[in-house]
A and B are shown apart, each in its own frame.
Chain A
């Protein structure tokens, strides 16, 4: 029989719709909190499997009804009815969902809902296999038999369907419009359900992708590279033979950071109001009228320009590279430089072309070098009678700073070492199995201060690589990853000090690591330091931004953050990479309510 038996189809569709909402609203929503702690892939599999199971059951019910009513000679005789039931169920759920979306003013995900149609009509077909063909059996199943009675059936069925539909729409509108946690969970669950776990669903606590407070708003470094033999357009680091380095880093927002380190003859003058000019071989660019002495630069410190687009980056890079190469030549280069300037002036006169004028630099930065490790608290032997309690703290080491001419903000970079698993300050369950107790985690702390010197943001960066990958993953709540000697995963956690609580937490960390003076009993600092780091990272997970990026370099040696400021293979927001190797960043993600989400803009 190939025609549709509408009564079994309607009952099957109704069963599918009701069981669908019972499952999503009655079971999944209460368990959303638990789901958020699980792997998103596992959650999707569970939801899809359950829904498919319900649809298969609905299909089996339809087949059973058909068999009981008219008999089933062959399974395919009930195929049309099963397909009709699935299609009807999909139409009802889709209609209710659209009404719910329209009711709360959210955009309707038509494409996602259309994608689920094959599952709604396909899964019930499996139910055909669960019911054996046979003659009509009126009382084979009392419930099924009752459903098949004719008396008063139409009124009851349509009335019931209408009541259920009204209740469902009302419930959806109420839940969506409440704006509370239920609403958030409902949106998340329905999104998961209607998309069978494949949609871009926003987890509870994040109302929309654009306003997810955990989503990074700053650009990330996509790649850096080093090539002393070939000049590449766009991205490249060009190590000079004694003449400095010109680095170009590609950012995810389309800008490029061009840095000149140790390029002789390149200096900068800060004028009134923080404006900056750049002086190259005694010629001043940027703001007119500024005059600066030529810097005697040996490295490692330099200037950074932030420019839009690869064309501007390439012009600036070529300009700086040319100056560097000329200065590298010594007296010959000076002569060549004068000739080059003269030639350009002549060409400008003849052609009318404007000579390239580099813009004013954006930032200046420097590293502490060997100075980093010396200081008032260098004596780190608690047993020594002359050693202080604070000296026993693994205090942070200042390794560099960066100043932004435009904003007046200053960022100071520190390294802070957490030695041994026991000192990580994280619960054992969060530490990935196989963690090495002998390893020590080097955390890079970046403290950004406003022009008045007040801390406004603190960022902790750690690298999961080598022997310490498990510890770093434990600290940042990462997941185990297969790493090679020249690969790793970079974790970053930042907290803006906009509220009293976050400010207190961050300040506590800075005090515990000796970055700012402590007002507590310093004898307690050692035990407090690791706790403060864990508390800070917890605050970053809850109220800040936590990101991770896989990275690979062509350098074989494992990465290490050293007190010199050299950070092999790490971009560190273009801060202190002193590597001449290529680094590629990939798989950028950010942590939102316990779930790692793709950071598509990165």
Chain B
């Protein structure tokens, strides 16, 4: 899909620019190559973390924090897994369907980022409402392993067909816990959206 391709290009370009400018994240980046059966099939990408993002810095516990713009509405969700934390954020510019939207879920899990993202790719592959699914290895400050996936998804609702672009980020954290961040926005609007900025503000440790 053109827009997602553009988004991925922007991500890479921003990363390259940041590298040249010497302003890459100074955290413990994960440049460890991944391979094997669960390895992402897409070309590696570098999703850059936003340093000093504007908004309210929200400590989430377990060493995680994010920066959310004023007017965001958080909706703690009940996780079926004891001990897992699941928060859904409606962005201040969300439409009537709730997009842009940012979701963050983290906690103890035995499932690593590689396996979880491989499974997600497998599951999404049979979902006929999902298209252009691309899964890539990535780096993220503080994470032992990071994987990024982008896709487009449709949902038939009472108001009509809703189509969103999505970006998911899996991270394996040093303490063994796992996290997943999901940014969604109406088709063609994810790049530069408040949801993606919130995702890129994720800080580990």
Contact = CB atoms under 8 A, between A and B. Distances in A.
Contact of A296 (B34, B103, B128): B34
Contacts of A329: none
Contact of A299 (B94, B110, B179): B110
Contacts of B81: 370, 373, 562-564, 566
A517 interface: yes
Contacts of A300: 110-112, 115
- State which size class the interface on A falls in: 35 or more
A564 B111 contact: yes
Contacts of A366: 38, 111, 115-116, 118-119, 122
Contact of B97 (A294, A388, A447): A388
Contacts of B119: 301, 366-369, 371, 400-401
B168 A296 contact: no
B180 interface: yes
> Looking at A301, A389, A410, which has the most chain B CB atoms within 10 Å of its CB?
A301
Nearest to B179: A370
A536 B113 CA distance: 35
Interface in B138-183: 145, 153-159, 162, 164, 166, 168, 170, 172, 178-180, 182
A385 interface: yes
Interface in A367-393: 367-371, 373-381, 384-390
Interface in B52-97: 75, 77, 79-81, 84, 86, 88, 90, 94-97
B125 to A, nearest CB: 8
Interface in A325-373: 364, 366-371, 373
Max chain B CB contacts within 10 Å: which of A373, A374, A401?
A: A374
A189 B181 CA distance: 64
Interface in A495-526: 515-519, 521-523
A267 B35 contact: yes
Contacts of B32: 296
A7 B36 CA distance: 89
29 contacts: A267-B36, A268-B37, A292-B35, A293-B35, A295-B38, A295-B39, A297-B36, A299-B112, A366-B111, A366-B118, A368-B119, A369-B111, A369-B116, A370-B109, A370-B111, A370-B116, A371-B180, A373-B84, A373-B105, A376-B153, A386-B98, A388-B159, A390-B155, A390-B156, A517-B155, A522-B158, A562-B81, A564-B109, A564-B111
Contacts of B126: 410, 412, 447, 449, 453
A163 to B, nearest CB: 68
B38 A297 contact: yes
B109 A297 contact: no
B80 A562 contact: yes
B131 to A, nearest CB: 12
B115 A389 contact: no
Given A373-B80, A378-B77, A298 B114 contact: yes
Nearest to B166: A376
Nearest to A442: B80
A374 B200 CA distance: 17
Interface residues of B, number: 64
A368 B123 contact: yes
Query: Interface of chain B, helix or strand or loop or mixed?
Result: mixed
A279 interface: yes
A370 B39 CA distance: 18
A93 interface: no
A298 to B, nearest CB: 3
A300 B79 CA distance: 19
A297 B34 CA distance: 9
Contact of A297 (B97, B107, B112, B180): B112
Nearest to A365: B119
Contact of B156 (A294, A519, A563): A519
A54 B117 CA distance: 71
Interface string A296-312: 11111101000000000
A375 B77 CA distance: 12
A277 B70 CA distance: 53
Contacts of A566: 81, 110
Contact of B182 (A301, A374, A449): A374
Q: Which 7 A-B pairs have the closest CB atoms?
A: A295-B36, A369-B111, A293-B35, A298-B112, A301-B115, A267-B36, A366-B119
